[in-house]
Amino acid sequence: MRRQIPLLLTFLTGVAIIISFFIPHKPFNEVQDMLLDWTIIIAGFAMLLGIYSLLNKHITHIKRKDAGWGYSIILTSFFIGVFIVGIISAVRYKGYSLSPGSSLYYVYDYMVIPLSATMFSLLAFFIASAAYRAFRANKLNATLLLVAAVIVMLGRVPVVENAFFRFLTRFSDWFMFIPQMAAKRGIQIGVALGMFAMSLRIILGIERTYLQ
Amino acid sequence: MKERKGLIFGSVILIVVFIIMFIKGEPSKNIMVWIAAILTLSIYSFLYKDNVFYKFAEHLFVGVSVGYSVSVVWQNAFIRRVFDPLFITRTYIVDGKFSLYLFLAIVIPTLLGMLMVSIFTKKHGWLIRIPIAFVVGSYAGMGIAPSFQAYIFEQTQSTLYVTLSISSFIMIVGVITTLVYFFFSKEHKGFLGKTAGVGIWFIMVAFGASFGYTVMARISLLIGRMNFLLHDWLGVIK
Amino acid sequence: MRFWEKVMKLDRRWIFLLIALAVLIPFLKPLRLPLTVTKPARDVFDAIENIAPEGAPLLIATDYAPSTAPELDPMLYAMLRHCLSTKRRVMLLALYPQGAGMAQAGLDFILPEFPDAKSGVDYVFLGYQPGIQAIVMYLGEDVRLAFPTDAYGIPLDSLPMMKNIRNYDDIALIVDLAGSSITLTWVTYAVARYGEHLAAGVTAVSAAQYYPYLDTGQFVGMLGGLKGAAEYEKLIQEKGYTKAREIATIGMDAQSIAHLVILFLIIIGNVAFFASKSHKKKRSTAGS
Amino acid sequence: MNILLVFLFLIQQTPDSLPVDTAQVTEIVRPAPPTNVIAKDTPNDAGGSISVEWDISADDGKGLKNVNLYNVYKSKTEEGKFDYVGTVGAARTSYDDQSVEKDNKGYYYIVKAQTKEGVESEPSNISSGKSQAQWFHHGRWAYLILGVIFTLFFVLYIRMAKGKKLFIRKIAGLDAVEDAVGRSTEMGRPVLFVPGIGLLSDIATIAALTILGKVAKKTAEYETRVIMPNYDPLVMSAAQEVVKQSYTEAGRPDSFNEKDIFYLTQDQFGYAAGVDGIMLREKPGAIFLQGIFYAEALILAETGHSVGAIQIAGTDRVTQLPFFISACDYTLIGEEMFAASSYLSRDPIMMGSIKGEDASKLVLIIVIMVGTVLGILGGLHLGLFENWFSNLINWFARG
């Protein structure tokens, strides 16, 4: 029963969504939106487990004075602090906690955004180091990777304005539109079929690792 | 050893450049900008190696982002979708009449969500499978019908715009050979092997091209951060 | 030959250092790498240059969001500098809610350079109104239908600059800065219906799809991405309109250098790879 | 103030507020009305909507060129009072009236053209229509047909596969799982499993959980620690169960430590920063990057490489695959990742479903080939083929 009930539920919800895709008549038209709305509420409760896991881990660290327990204090206190700020902002701005001027807005603007943008910008460095390592003409496949990358990169920044670079710019555009797009489409169709098969296996209860 | 000295030397130069600019420029008077700048530099310090500053910024980042997202989830899931409709706006009362359908539409997901907490009990821990099964089932349904529309049909259709041209020929060959590469049930030998080989060439060329294409966008991100440090924070550049 | 083997296993932090310098140096000292101004960019410049000072205004629509701002902000800055320094009048408006923020930020950034410029006299900021297509149509009848007041709540009729401006007939040129297909709305309604002149500022990625509109003359000119913005900056610098920092030019310099650094690294990596391979071969043949 | 503006804006949109100066003696030039007005049920919906279509007025874009808008009016009776329902811009020829109160009841519509000055034309002809809810979305026949065919393939092959040994080609990344875990054990380092920033609702994340099950079995056998930082708490709960089960199956339920599978944060770059920190401090010997990744893919893969770990990546995000290919030792490309669960389980039923996948793929390849031939023949302007070709494309376009 501990297996059958969840598997049956998976089957029923899956089929309900598929049916609602084909039948626009009431009440089927509302099924999809309603079920997706429900998953948001469920995800909200799941967050409680996340918080428990996080606090449990770090409070244990602090209690045991493990290596780096000071950082656990930082993490926990910022978590609790920002959460309280968020709730206060939500109450003050009637649910729109991110309204300009709210405290949460400041936290977001001067902490979350710069930190995210900086992490994101690390890619400028990593894309260079990855290119250095990976683009070696040692095997045919790697050579193809290398040649295509070099052509497109040169096409992006015409260092000198002449006929050759103008051609290169247009060629690299073509390269993105045709051969690149071809492989991308092939992969994408494959992914869609793989997803289709996986979804079918899940709905039919063949694939059940996630319900261990 | 010599190499490490060189690296330290290089990093020191970078730091000195920033110090000179700090003296020459008009640093921002906004404390929040200072916090943002210090956090930015702390993250960058990780490029040299793991250190106190990065550890600090990292733990702060995780803490702040969890606090932020929990407060947003609190608002979106609990207040807006459960608490308000149940107790404040009472959406389940239509024209003064109680609608069981609308009432259950709020209560059922709430009960499903509460089952998540069953994990903390030894005996009823399996109940958590019910909400998990529900979520997975819904999206597996989505994975069949709508993704059919979005991927299989659209991609096939745009491949089908065939004209008498080399580009069109390359497109068709590329899509078909790539698909052949993903054949799993036959060994890739003989004709099938050769075709799949062409497929992997296409895949490699495509990956190389999109790698090269992305470089510009990634460098732009760094330019953006530099602009923040040099303009907003240090005020060296007007 | 041990040298090449070392290069092959280069500590990646050297690469990081090179990239950091490649982006930092153009900020400290703009290199102004050679940049040829392309015809679509020159056409935009000429079209604005042809607007009479203190006459019919230029309308700039800031229809973009922070995600495309790095490419489009420099265009807005350059155009504002161009107009304000030569007493050409500017109207700003946004068809996207976030676009209003971009225009306001642009004004906040540029206005300190022009202490004489007055709102309502030299420029007017109309803000944002919902209803993309309807707004573009209303501008063909009367600006006041869509924007009864400017962004700060002042009725248009009390603004000296707006007194004689009713619709497209009184606007010299429209520039649409956008990272989406909203440009096409301007083409369909303002250009096709009312015969207004339109120049476009678009992102590098979407530039390719807009070339046909240049060919048909529906755009009088176009700026594509950071490069287009850099070209425009070069033109206003040549005319001596501004001495301000050219952010797009710096950006293009940084891009070019960073790309060259990466290409150089790839070449060095391959040279090292082949050099050490041939060395190994030699050693192994000598050994046997 | 803003509310006032919006209000002003709204009332300007209704034609009532526009000055219709019929009382004055000044000459009024009325535009020609639109013609051929047809009202009918809006297809493929849940009812409550009627679509009105018309031909443009003779003065729209031609003639007097003064038409600016079209106003649509509705009435319950043919002769009765017509109420305003909506407006569209010139050159448009249809309007969906979503305000229909009752299905299966006739409503009457007229359309008037309007000039810049707010002068309306004479009414057009009257047309009536009923709204209805449909029991099938007629635009989606193609999806249903192809979906049923593909599903039949699956069912067929799964039935055929029972009790048989089926072949499945080598997938390099998956063969390396055992080596990677073994090497990690030799080095005395833990294994890091990163499920990416997908939610449990993403199919790719579920595929990742299947791979996790196999990885955990190996780590249980080798008695190596497996660490897993999570983005989605639901994934975390599911993963804990998966790993616990794997350890039980391997006969070492006591070595399972729930705290090694923990929640990190639900912020893309916060997650990247946290996982980077874990990589630097725990120095894993093997890293599995499996699931959905966006920009953080390369940040994680490069940091993982710098601590000297063997990396096996896999994702269905085409945009991030180039970076995994360049920075990781093995990469499962798109569909390979979904096939992984079947590959690893070696269960005939699973293998059968892979066969079904291949059969569907063959169908698509044949469709594309046929399309190409038709396209080429159509390109030579052979009328019949031209028609067939456009029908084929339309079938895929309309669905």
3-class DSSP state of C128: strand
Residue A27 sits in which domain range? 1-66
Residues 8-67 of A with CB under 8 A from D: 21-26, 29, 39, 42-43, 46-51, 53-54, 56-57, 60
**Which ipTM was obtained for this model?**
0.87
- Please answer yes or no on whether A132 and C12 come within 8 Å at the CB atom: yes
Cβ-Cβ contacts under 8 Å, C17 against chain B: 7, 10-11, 14
Token pair for D149: 């065919």
- Identify the residue among C19, C132, C142, C145 best suited for mutation to test binding to D, counting D beta carbons within 10 A and taking the highest: C145
Residues D148 and D211 in one domain: no
- Please answer yes or no on whether B77 and A202 come within 8 Å at the CB atom: no
Lowest mean pLDDT, pick from A199-203, C168-172, D158-162, D305-309: D158-162
Residue D15, pLDDT above cutoff 70: no
pLDDT tens digits, one per residue of B74-87: 888 888 888 888 88
Residues D393 and D365 in one domain: yes
Residue C102, pLDDT above cutoff 90: no
- Please answer yes or no on whether B220 and C24 come within 8 Å at the CB atom: no
D12 within some domain: no
- Please answer yes or no on whether A125 and C270 come within 8 Å at the CB atom: no
Give me the residue from A43, A120, A194 closest to D335, CB to CB. A194
Cβ-Cβ contacts under 8 Å, B40 against chain A: 114-115, 117-118
- Please answer yes or no on whether B164 and D379 come within 8 Å at the CB atom: yes
pLDDT for C285 equals 58
Tell me what the mean pLDDT of segment C44-52 comes to.
93
Cβ-Cβ contacts under 8 Å, A136 against chain C: 269-270, 273
CATH code of the domain in which D61 resides: 2.60.40.10
D161 within some domain: no
pLDDT tens digits, one per residue of B193-233: 999 999 999 999 999 999 998 898 889 889 989 988 988 89
Give the chain B residue nearest D240 (alpha carbons): B119
CA-wise closest residue to D278 among A69, A112, B55, A114: B55
Tell me what the mean pLDDT of segment C54-58 comes to.
91
- Core vs surface per residue D330-352: b (16+ CB within 10 A) or e: bbbbbbbbbbbbbbbbeebbbbb
Give me the residue from D171, D237, D321 closest to B119, CB to CB. D237
Residues D175 and D240 in one domain: yes
**Helix ranges (DSSP H) in B25-124:** 31-44, 52-73, 100-115
- Please answer yes or no on whether B63 and A115 come within 8 Å at the CB atom: no
Mean pLDDT of chain A, nearest integer: 88
Nearest chain B Cα distance for residue A202, angstroms: 7
D16 within some domain: no
Tell me what the mean pLDDT of segment C121-145 comes to.
85
Residue D1, pLDDT above cutoff 50: no
**Helix ranges (DSSP H) in chain C:** 2-8, 12-28, 39-49, 69-85, 97-110, 132-141, 143-146, 182-185, 204-215, 225-238, 247-287
Element housing C93 (H / E)? strand C90-94
A21 within some domain: yes
- At D180, the amino acid letter reads A
pLDDT for C276 equals 83
Phi and psi (nearest 5°) for B237?
-110, 125
Give the chain B residue nearest D340 (alpha carbons): B184
D92 within some domain: yes
Cβ-Cβ contacts under 8 Å, A159 against chain C: 33, 256, 260
Cβ-Cβ contacts under 8 Å, D6 against chain C: 130
Token match 């393939």: residue?
A: D153
A36 within some domain: yes
A2 within some domain: yes
D382 within some domain: yes
pLDDT for C50 equals 92
Give the chain A residue nearest C272 (alpha carbons): A136
- The chains found to touch D (3+ Cβ pairs under 8 angstroms) are A, B, C
Token pair for D158: 């799964």
Contacts of A127 (CB under 8 A, 6+ apart): B211, B214, B215, B218, C262, D298, D323
End-to-end CA distance of chain B: 41
pLDDT for D195 equals 95
Q: How many domains does chain A have?
A: 1
Cβ-Cβ contacts under 8 Å, B206 against chain A: 148, 179-184
- Identify the residue among C4, C234, C262, C273 best suited for mutation to test binding to A, counting A beta carbons within 10 A and taking the highest: C262
pLDDT tens digits, one per residue of B84-132: 888 888 888 888 888 888 888 889 999 999 998 888 887 888 888 899 9
Element housing D69 (H / E)? strand D67-75
- Please answer yes or no on whether C70 and B17 come within 8 Å at the CB atom: no
Phi and psi (nearest 5°) for B180?
-65, -35
D204 within some domain: yes
Mean pLDDT of chain C, nearest integer: 87
Residues D195 and D327 in one domain: yes
- Core vs surface per residue D17-50: b (16+ CB within 10 A) or e: ebeeeeeeeeeeebbbbbeebebebbeebbbbbb
Residues D329 and D208 in one domain: yes
- Please answer yes or no on whether B220 and C251 come within 8 Å at the CB atom: yes
CATH code of the domain in which D240 resides: 3.40.50
Is the minimum CB–CB distance between A125 and chain C shorter than 8 Å?
yes
Residue D22, pLDDT above cutoff 90: no
- Core vs surface per residue D297-324: b (16+ CB within 10 A) or e: bbbbbbbbbbbebbbbbbbbbbebbbbb
* Contact in structure between A89 and A97 (CB atoms under 8 Å): yes
Residues D226 and D200 in one domain: yes
Tell me what the mean pLDDT of segment C132-137 comes to.
82
- Please answer yes or no on whether B227 and C247 come within 8 Å at the CB atom: yes
Residue ranges of E strands in D159-260: 191-196, 226-230
The three-state DSSP-derived secondary structure of A98-158 is: CCCCCHHHHHHHHHHHHHHHHHHHHHHHHHHHHHHHHCCCCCHHHHHHHHHHHHHHHHHCC
* Contact in structure between C266 and A132 (CB atoms under 8 Å): yes
pLDDT tens digits, one per residue of D233-264: 999 999 998 999 999 999 998 889 989 999 99
Residue B148, pLDDT above cutoff 90: no
Strands D83-89 vs D67-75: parallel, antiparallel or unpaired: antiparallel
Cβ-Cβ contacts under 8 Å, B224 against chain A: 117, 121
The three-state DSSP-derived secondary structure of D9-24 is: HHHHHCHHHCCCCCCC
Confidence of residue D18 (pLDDT cuts 50, 70, 90): very low
Confidence of residue D5 (pLDDT cuts 50, 70, 90): very low
A138 within some domain: no
pLDDT tens digits, one per residue of D118-149: 788 888 888 888 888 888 887 788 888 888 89
CA-wise closest residue to D262 among A61, B74, A86: A61
- What gap in Å lies between CA A86 and CA B203, rounded to an integer? 46
Considering chain C, what percentage of its residues have pLDDT values greater than 70? 97
- Identify the residue among B52, B74, B185, B192 best suited for mutation to test binding to D, counting D beta carbons within 10 A and taking the highest: B185
pLDDT tens digits, one per residue of B5-61: 777 877 888 888 888 878 888 888 889 899 999 999 999 999 988 999 999 999 999
CA-wise closest residue to A210 among D237, D287, D194, D227: D237
Q: How many domains does chain D have?
A: 3
A33 within some domain: yes
Residue D285 sits in which domain range? 169-338
List of chain A residues with pLDDT < 70: 98-100, 212
Lowest mean pLDDT, pick from C180-194, C217-231, D22-36, D188-202: D22-36
pTM: 0.85
Cβ-Cβ contacts under 8 Å, D238 against chain B: 132
- The chains found to touch B (3+ Cβ pairs under 8 angstroms) are A, C, D
Token match 């050759």: residue?
A: A164
Give me the residue from A122, A196, A211 closest to D150, CB to CB. A196
Cβ-Cβ contacts under 8 Å, C255 against chain B: 216, 219-220, 223
* Contact in structure between D75 and D108 (CB atoms under 8 Å): yes
Lowest mean pLDDT, pick from C61-65, D116-120, D284-288: D116-120
Residue D304, pLDDT above cutoff 60: yes
pLDDT for C241 equals 85
Residues D359 and D331 in one domain: no
Token pair for C268: 């060095």
- What is the dihedral angle through the alpha carbons of A198, A202, A205, A206, rounded to the nearest 10 degrees? 20
pLDDT for D286 equals 96
Of these ranges, A72-86, C227-241, D1-15, D129-143, the one predicted with the greatest mean pLDDT is A72-86
- At C32, the amino acid letter reads R
pLDDT tens digits, one per residue of A131-165: 999 998 888 989 999 999 999 998 878 777 778 88
Q: How many CB atoms lie within 10 A of CB D59?
A: 21
A12 within some domain: yes
- Core vs surface per residue C56-66: b (16+ CB within 10 A) or e: bbbbbbbbbbe
pLDDT for D244 equals 92
Residues 311-330 of D with CB under 8 A from A: 316, 318, 321, 323, 325-327
**Helix ranges (DSSP H) in chain B:** 2-24, 31-44, 52-73, 100-115, 129-147, 154-159, 166-181, 190-227
Token match 């009382």: residue?
A: D23
pLDDT for D7 equals 41
Residues D90 and D199 in one domain: no
pLDDT for A124 equals 95
- What gap in Å lies between CA A120 and CA D291, rounded to an integer? 19
CATH 1.10.10 fits C39-244, yes or no: no
D27 within some domain: no
Chain Cα centroid distance, residue D13: 35
Token pair for D206: 């579920």
Tell me what the mean pLDDT of segment D333-349 comes to.
87
D41 within some domain: yes
Give the chain C residue nearest D5 (alpha carbons): C148
Of these ranges, C129-133, C186-190, C258-262, the one predicted with the greatest mean pLDDT is C258-262
Confidence of residue C187 (pLDDT cuts 50, 70, 90): confident
Contacts of D70 (CB under 8 A, 6+ apart): D34, D54, D57, D87, D88, D89, D90, D92, D95, D111, D112, D113, D114
